[in-house]
Structure 1
Amino acid sequence: MFDYDLEHILSYTVTLDAPEVVGPVPGGVRANFYTTGGEVNGPKLQGKVRPVGGDWLTLRTDGVAILDVRATLEVGEGALVDVAFTGVGDLGVDGYERFLGGELPPTVALRVAPRFLTAHPDFVWLNRLQCLGIGEVDSENSRVGWDVYAVH
């Protein structure tokens, strides 16, 4: 077994617009959730999530959502940090049918693998990280919260 440590680097929340449902596609149903903004807080990063980006989600017929997320963080004195990740969310065995009927569960647990890119000299250390993220969707309030940990 390999030694590793997890370091909490940030938490963030975003608000989302109503989903743009593309509809049934090969492999599931496609829905795009666009970010309207948010906040970044953590021991190493504070700032905001800019109102760009979103989640280009594919919900499989087994109720598992495949996430494809992009966001821009603005931290420190205006440094821009690109964050991209993939991961999964489980809407339950009947999640696909319920989503097609316009229904989302009140909460959905999310597990992701974020990566960061920036050119700002104060934050280039982010470019070297592989992270794990644990999040949850609050469907009723159109919010998503994340805790992000660097794997060392």
Structure 2
Amino acid sequence: MTAELRGTWLYDAHVDLGTPIMVGPTPEGVRAIFPVTGGRLEGPRLKGRFLPHGGDWARIRGDGSIVLDVRALVEADDGALIHLTYGGRLVIPAEIQARVLDLANPDPLAGDRYYFRTLPLFETASPGHAWLNGICAVGVGRVVTGGVAYRVYAID
């Protein structure tokens, strides 16, 4: 018998993104790099800020879906540094894609209108946050004004 998948809420995050750098069409799809310029995460065991040292090396596939490739650096409120990486998928219906991806839009569409999931992994040298080194997580995302937001769950 296999175990049921369960998760525990880890944190909510708001990641501020800068103007995307459009690499353009490559053999793998259209490459766009979204720089991380800041942001915050808050949860019961983890609180901190996103440092402006990362980004999403996103790839827009031929079917319009977006493959995420994120690397970010978080400084926890206690000063610990946490390297965060995640892949994922952002699948937006064609008729709303331009509106959803307009980060300057003051009225973003609700996240239930599209599919946005991430698979965060963590790496830290901090003894107080070493538990992060041994977990897998899943994030449910949405595009918000100026960036993206996630609710992230540790998989039990």
CA–CA separation in structure 1 for the residues paired with 2:12 and 2:154 = 12
Superposition map of 1:21-40 within 5 A? 21-40=22-41
Residues 81, 117 of structure 1: 8 Å contact kept? yes
| 1:19-71 deviation line (CA, Å, top 9, x unaligned) | 10000111321000001100110011111111110100000111110000011
Q: State the AA in 1 paired with 2:61.
A: R
RMSD: 2.0
The aligned counterpart of 1:56 is 57
Residues 16, 147 of structure 2: 8 Å contact kept? yes
Residues 31, 57 of structure 1: 8 Å contact kept? yes
Residues 18, 34 of structure 2: 8 Å contact kept? yes
Q: State the AA in 2 paired with 1:21.
A: M
**Using a 3 Å threshold, how does the CA distance of structure 1 residues 18 and 109 change in structure 2: closer, same or farther?**
farther
Q: State the AA in 1 paired with 2:33.
A: N
**Using a 3 Å threshold, how does the CA distance of structure 1 residues 27 and 92 change in structure 2: closer, same or farther?**
farther
Superposition map of 1:38-117 within 5 A? 38-93=39-94, 104=101, 106-107=108-109, 109-117=115-123
Q: Which stretch has the larger CA shift, 104-113 or 119-128?
A: 104-113
Alpha-carbon shift at residue 148 of structure 1 (Å)? 0.9
Aligned partner of residue 53 in structure 2, secondary structure: coil
CA–CA separation in structure 1 for the residues paired with 2:68 and 2:130 = 25
Q: State the AA in 1 paired with 2:22.
A: V
Alignment match of 2:136 (pick from 130, 133, 142)? 130
Residues 100, 143 of structure 2: 8 Å contact kept? no
Q: Which stretch has the larger CA shift, 69-78 or 30-39?
A: 69-78
Aligned positions, number: 146
